[in-house]
Chains A and B, each alone.
Chain A
Amino acid sequence: MFPTFRLSMTWLHTWFGLVLGYVLIVVFFFGSLSVFDREIDRWAIPETRFAPQPMSSFDTMLAPIFARMTPEADELQAAAKRVRGPLPATLVPMNWGAYTTHRDPVLSLYAEYAVPNNPDDPDDHVHGHVTIDPRNGRLLPDDRLKIGSEFFYPMHYGLNLTWKDLGYWIVGFAALVMLAALVSGVVIHRRIFRELFTFRPRKHVQRSTLDLHNLTGVVALPFHFMFALTGLTVFASIYLPVSETLLKPQAMAAAMADAKAKGLPFKPAGVQAPLASVDAMVVEAKRRWAARGMPGEVGYLYVNHVGDRNSYVTLYRAGSDRVTLVGQPIHFEGTSGRVLLEEPPPSAVAGVNDFLTGLHLQHFEHWLLRWFYVFGGLSGCLCIATGFIFFVEKRKRQHAKAGTGGARWADAVAVATVTGMLVATLAILVANRLLPAEMAQRGDWEKASFWGAWVIAAVHALWRSAPVRDARLSPAWAEQCGAIAALAFAAVALNWITTGDHLVRTLGERFWPVAGLDLALLVAGAIAAMAAVALRRRAGVAVAETGAAAPDDAETANA
């Protein structure tokens, strides 16, 4: 098909990069924001702006709350359609879980309830969720959208497209293509070592854009590669669901054999029995972790077979000083509180898997590394955005001469994804501060403002794209940069007005979740404002130079 390997790799990199780049930049950007998802939650839900708390006392605080919890109404409605006959008035809880991290002031609890009489699935169950203030056990309103962890984070791995899990599959395919784009990018880069540190901002746009594309792609190459790869391994069970489909009986048998070997009851006995003190188990678990040289707090508390004679409690250490995820679980017998099993260190394969998962999901306590992840993610965004601009720069004069619209469309979609995505992200933050506190379905309106702003930005990008047809710069870039600056400054001002938490106060109190987001918004706003000014100036220069032949060199011509 192509005379040389390099040319075929160029084709692959160009076209797969362009098409999937529109998805990948979304994944990279919201992944970068997800590094600070809990902090964004604090900004979005002012009632939760207090310091992180350790796991609350189970015996005095959590047990009564768990006992009062009920299944989610929408899950019950769906379950009613799956069973023979009516659902019982109250469902029996099977398992309880409580989860927190070193960054969470609030504690989230969930419960699983058995759904009887489902002919297709004997293990059918529904869930209940609450979030509490661990300082006093007060339930927090659960209709508030956690913008960081419940909207930006799912955007990262599933684009918030939940229909038939389509989002997961699109992101998974994009990650696979990302790996191919990285490898082909290295192949087609002629001077990868000689130009490792090369950026020539004063050369023509096509050259300096390609320099920046190469620079941000190559210096963060280990990051890009590892994150695309570990992103795929984290969701391997979704992409290759063999243990849910083809090998389900074997997977079930393996889980039962594993539980038997460990002495953990796989099924409830069907005999009621009270639960011993879980707080005493927590004390014992912490003692054992400290004895292993890795003292820590409980990150995840799980009660299996609630209220049954076979109940057991599993305590996981919170991720803090290791890359590996929450771990070092210790299992306690529910009725007596004695230790059933202290899980041994994982096997080599499981250890590698835990490391790769932990590397991607970053539960650890290391602010520098967190910021490095943001840096890696944003350099990925820069790499993709400069890729779009290079694609358009390289073609727009030919297309203008030939009278075809390819470059114009590519540019308009690039505006819609690059700056349009930022407009949408800021719009949801502004809406979060502007919508009335007691509004019904407030979270849905916040999401609607995100999608609405993005649609408006996309329409604007298309509407303003005509100059690209004449090989000129689309004014949409500058205009949307202006909108980004205005929205970013507005979000900081609105946070001040509606909560009283201005930067002088939050910085004085060293309350970094809010101070950090406000500062990031100010920096983003300043950069966007400077970009808007620079783009306007450039548009003026470009008009004056129209018709001048663009300089070119071998690599920009071929890439």
Chain B
Amino acid sequence: MPKGLLLTLALLCSAGGIAWLALAMEVHWQQVRASAAGPDRRTAIGLRVLGGAALAVSFGVCLLADHVTMAVLVWVMSLAASALLVAQVLAWRPRWLAWLTTPWAERQSH
């Protein structure tokens, strides 16, 4: 795979992972779902696992794209950029992240 594509994939996984980790927190789940309740315990764990896995995939893809010393820097910086991006989306347009909670749409509705 060309390097540009790998890095794009790594960035997407990083942003998604950070978003899922944020959604596992009560206040951000409420913002995104526009609901009064936070995620239940199992949902929160699921979101954390998914978020962690996405970040791990992101690191793996960084390793495929670059020499290991470079990959570490790219990954750490991508986490920082993703965190700022997710925080801004949560502040201004939280509903944009709603699709990331689709797997839990059923369980939370009843």
Q: Which residues of A contact B (CB under 8 A)?
A: 194, 196-201, 215-216, 219-220, 222-223, 321-324, 355, 359, 364, 366, 368-369, 372-373, 375-376, 379
Question: How many angstroms between the C-alpha atoms of A197 and B87 in the bound complex?
Answer: 5
- Out of A201, A323, A364, A373, name the residue touching B92 (CB < 8 Å): A201
The answer to the question of B7 belonging to the interface, with a C-beta cut-off of 8 Å to chain A, is: yes
- A377 shortest CB reach to chain B, Å: 11
Collect the chain B residues with CB atoms within 8 Å of residue A322's CB: 67, 69-70
- Asked if A223 and B77 sit within 8 Å, CB to CB, the answer is yes
Closest-by-CB residue of B relative to A200 is B91
Residues of B within 8 A of A197 (CB): 18, 22, 25, 28, 83, 86-87, 90
- Contact assessment for B80 and A223 in the assembled complex, using a CB-CB cutoff below 8 Å: yes
Interface pair A379/B77, CB less than 8 Å apart: no
When distances are taken between beta carbons in the complex, the residues of chain B under 8 Å from A321 are 66-67, 70
**Any A CB within 8 A of the CB of B34:** no
In the complex the two chains form, is A368's CB within 8 Å of B74's CB? Answer: yes
Smallest distance from the beta carbon of B77 to chain A beta carbons, Å?
4
Contact assessment for B25 and A216 in the assembled complex, using a CB-CB cutoff below 8 Å: no
Q: In this assembly, does B27 line the interface, its C-beta being within 8 Å of a C-beta of chain A? A: yes
Binding site for A on B (CB under 8 A): 7, 18, 22, 25, 27-28, 66-67, 69-70, 73-74, 76-81, 83-84, 86-88, 90-92
Q: Is the CB of B91 within 8 A of A219?
A: no
A193 (CB) vs chain B CBs: closest residue: B25
B74 touches A219 (CB 8 A): no
Let me know if A324 and B87 touch, CB within 8 A.
no
The CA of A373 and the CA of B77, in the complex, are separated in Å by 8
**A198's contact among B77, B79, B87, by CB below 8 Å, is which?**
B87
A199 to B83, CA, bound (A): 11
Residue of chain B at shortest CB distance from A375? B81
Q: Which residue on B lies nearest to A369, using beta carbons?
A: B74
Known contacts A322-B67, A369-B73; A375/B88 CB under 8 A: no
Q: Give complex CA distance A260, B73 in Å.
A: 37
A526 to chain B, nearest CB (A): 17
> Can you name 9 A-B residue pairings with CB atoms under 8 Å?
A194-B25, A197-B22, A197-B28, A199-B87, A223-B77, A223-B80, A366-B74, A368-B7, A375-B80
Q: Chain B residues with Cβ under 8 A from A216's Cβ?
A: 84
Q: Please state if B25 and A375 are interface contacts (CB–CB under 8 Å).
A: no
- The secondary-structure label for the interface of chain B is helix
Q: Ordered nearest first, which 7 A-B pairs have the shortest CB separation?
A: A372-B77, A219-B83, A323-B69, A199-B91, A197-B87, A197-B22, A220-B80
Closest Cβ of chain A to B54, distance in Å, is 15
* Bound complex: CA A75 to CA B22 (Å): 59
Which residues of B have CB within 8 Å of A323? 67, 69-70, 73
A374 to B: closest C-beta gap in Å: 10
Q: B70 to chain A: which residues have CB within 8 Å?
A: 321-323, 364, 366, 369
Closest to A351 in B: B69
Q: Is the CB of B66 within 8 A of A324?
A: no
B77 cross-chain contacts in A, Cβ below 8 A: 223, 369, 372-373, 375-376
The residue of chain A having its C-beta at the shortest distance from the C-beta of B4 within the complex is: A368
A359 touches B73 (CB 8 A): yes
Cα distance A201–B90 when bound, in Å? 11
Residues of chain B lying within 8 A (CB to CB) of residue A194:
25
Does B80 lie within 8 Å of A376, measured CB to CB? yes
**A222 contacts which chain B residues (CB < 8 A)?**
76, 80
Smallest Cβ distance from B44 to chain A, in angstroms? Answer: 14
Nearest-neighbor residue (CB-CB) of A195 within chain B: B27
Q: Which residues of B contact A324 (CB under 8 A)?
A: 69
Q: How far is the CA of A271 from the CA of B28 in the complex (A)?
A: 76
**Chain A residues closer than 8 Å to B27, beta-carbon distance:** 198
Please measure, in the bound complex, the distance between the C-alpha atom of A197 and the C-alpha atom of B22, giving whole angstroms: 7
Of all chain A residues, which has the CB nearest B82? A219
Chain A residues within 8 Å of B74, by CB: 366, 368-369, 372
Chain A hits for B73, CB < 8 A: 323, 359, 369, 372
Give, as a whole number of angstroms, the nearest-CB distance from B99 to chain A.
18
Given contacts A197-B28, A197-B87, contact A366 B80 (CB under 8 A): no
